[in-house]
Chains A and B, each alone.
Chain A
Amino acid sequence: MKSKREAPALKEGRYLLSGNEACAEGAITAGCRFFAGYPITPASEVMTQIVNRFPEVGGKFIQMEDEIGSMAALIGASWGGIKSMTATSGPGFSLMQENIGLAIITETPCVVVNVQRSGPSTGQATKVAQGDIIQSRWGTHGEHQSVVIAPYSVQSAFDLAVEAFNLSEMFRTPVIFLMDEAVSHTRETLVIRGGYQVYDRINNGETPPFGGKLVPDMPRFGEGKKLLITGSTHDSKGERKTSDSRAQNDLVKRLNDKIEKNREMLERYEEYRTEDADHIFVSFGISARSAREAVDRLRADGIKAGLITVISVWPFPDGIIADFSKRVKRIFVPELNLGQMRTQVERISRCDVIGINKVNSEPLYPSEIIEEFRRHK
């Protein structure tokens, strides 16, 4: 079976879409044909876009009774051989955590969109925040890896949604698509040029379903394979091993290794005016958009500033940031929380790391970033 193919993309052209709508279109381009969801602000437009477009592509949609059920349905559908997605925000994302763990241990590809809003709890449902960085890494219990992709624009919401599905299929793991309210509701031009590459899970039957190589081949229901799929610790055939210490060790280590040993492919970021930079901003999502504008304004004043936009929030792009920390004076981390990404930068940096933080449910403005920059420079 060929694992790579040309995507049936949106027709080439220019579209005016929101981040939520672009994310749904990217998913459809990636081959997503199952969506289970539950209404929540500010993520609902992902679901309504899917509802409007699925009849044209033969997708199956179901509105579930809650987010727990949505996540469970994704796992069932994905083992049926169908690429699956859900979309939610903080409260729903919290409810999904247990079954995200089930998707991790059963190595079930699926994409979970989390449009971040202000929290904790109900917080301010219509307002922006970036407070789910650590939850997207450690929301579900137990030792595990997480793959988390953050778009920063309507264009990247589309492009990276395709990529999120590809990574999910390639590594047989759930991928969290971490948007924020501002990116999701911003309406801007999306340019479709075509030529998107789509990756499908490998189903050659060359390995048992849960072992034999770092990412085993993935069969599906209805093929006579008599699959044993379980959230309990299991061996390569899927047989439950509820107290075998070696089986537990082997499974946890392999699930870790399949991500950790592929960091090169998984660490994603974009550099902007970094070549000769003395000061680097490390940011993501809507805050990276403001930081980019701040870089341009600082450059106009003769200050050599640059930006690393983090795309793979997890695994965090340690390598590039550690390298820059050896040659820049300071790293600034603008984000809409009190330092969730900053602690990651600090973990790997040799230079001073300074947070630029805001938690009043408004985005960081470029002027605020510049003001904080000048205060510390």
Chain B
Amino acid sequence: MKENPVFNYLRRESLPLKFCPGCGHGIILGAVARAIDELKLDMDKMVFVSGIGCAGWISSPNLNADTLHTTHGRAIPAATGVKTARPDLNVVVISGDGDLATIGGNHLIHAARRNIPMTVICANNSIYGMTGGQTSGTTPKGIKTVTDPQGNIYDGFDLAPLVKAAGAAYVARYTTFHVRELIRAVKTALKGNGFSFIEAVSQCPTHYGKSVGQQAAEMLTFFKEKSVTIKRAKEMSPDELAGKITIGEF
């Protein structure tokens, strides 16, 4: 039987993955590995940088390339240092919404502004998973978390348009249900000549799922049913778009 080509890009000794059952982050890891495989990129010339939190474990230690696992929120400036010093390397940041969009939000918009060639993939599960289910900068209004037991009173960031407005050359958003589209977006990003940002909406059944009363499969079904393409979203009113996930290339 032919082995799944994804394994060529994984550090086998780090398997099995450390994620909770049903976590979406393994799907994102698979999508990145498949995109690299389809492009036949040289893993010796790739550097994967991550921050702290569950998504900081997607690339490090699992991808079989140079990896740099940094402090909380600081993956992007560390990657900026790598890329500025070594333009010959293909630099990819994979981290979470707490890391990239909350504690590290300033680095995210400034990296987009500079448009330095690198790929940033935000595994956005809209909650702090590792620390036990607290509200993040992308938690939607009304969602109950351990720090907002009455429901989040603030709006979460709409990340993809935010990064687009900050100047990123390429921005896409898909969910862990839309794996083919996600792979295609990662390929576009990896081939890009500017700052590429992919918001990969992911499920955290352990914390977010518990809050909304959904298990992993139900969360994926939710992603499928609530997603609308950018084209369709343009014809919808703000009321119709409430609670929807706009997907596509921004």
Contact = CB atoms under 8 A, between A and B. Distances in A.
B84 interface: yes
A361 to B, nearest CB: 31
Contacts of A222: 44-45, 47, 66, 86, 88-89
A283 interface: no
A234 B156 CA distance: 35
B243 to A, nearest CB: 33
Instruction: Name the prevailing secondary structure of the A interface residues.
Output: mixed
A226 B65 contact: yes
Contact of B80 (A73, A79, A224): A73
A72 B81 contact: yes
Nearest to B49: A76
Contacts of B44: 222-224
Interface stretch (B28-36, B67-75, B178-186, B218-226): B67-75
Contacts of B43: 226
A268 B49 CA distance: 37
B66 A69 contact: no
A34 B84 contact: yes
Contacts of A124: none
B87 to A, nearest CB: 9
Contacts of A77: 81-82, 84-86
Contacts of A252: none
Nearest to B108: A65
A84 interface: yes
A175 interface: no
A60 interface: yes
A80 interface: yes
Contact of A230 (B14, B64, B69, B76): B69
Contact of A226 (B66, B70, B82, B110): B66
A229 interface: yes
Contacts of A78: 81, 85
A99 interface: yes
A75 B86 contact: no
Contact of A240 (B45, B61, B70, B73): B61
Q: Which of B43, B60, B110 has the most CB of A within 10 A?
A: B60
Nearest to B116: A62
Contacts of B69: 228-232, 240
Nearest to B50: A230
Interface in B148-168: none
Nearest to A74: B81
B84 A62 contact: yes
A66 B106 contact: yes
Interface string A75-91: 11111111010000000
Q: Which of B61, B77, B86, B106 has the most CB of A within 10 A?
A: B77
Contacts of B110: 64-65, 69
Interface in A194-250: 221-232, 239-240
Q: Which of B67, B81, B84 has the most CB of A within 10 A?
A: B81
A98 interface: yes
A73 B66 contact: no
Given A102-B71, A230-B60, A239-B61, A64 B80 contact: yes
Nearest to A70: B77
A294 interface: no
Given A222-B89, A228-B61, A72 B71 contact: yes
Given A78-B85, A240-B61, 8 more contacts: A69-B74, A76-B49, A77-B85, A79-B82, A84-B81, A229-B67, A230-B60, A239-B61
Interface of A: 33-34, 36, 60, 62, 64-66, 68-70, 72-82, 84, 98-99, 101-102, 221-232, 239-240
Interface of B: 11, 14, 43-45, 47, 49, 60-61, 64-71, 73-74, 76-86, 88-89, 106-107, 110
9 contacts: A33-B85, A36-B84, A65-B106, A77-B84, A81-B85, A82-B86, A224-B44, A226-B11, A228-B69
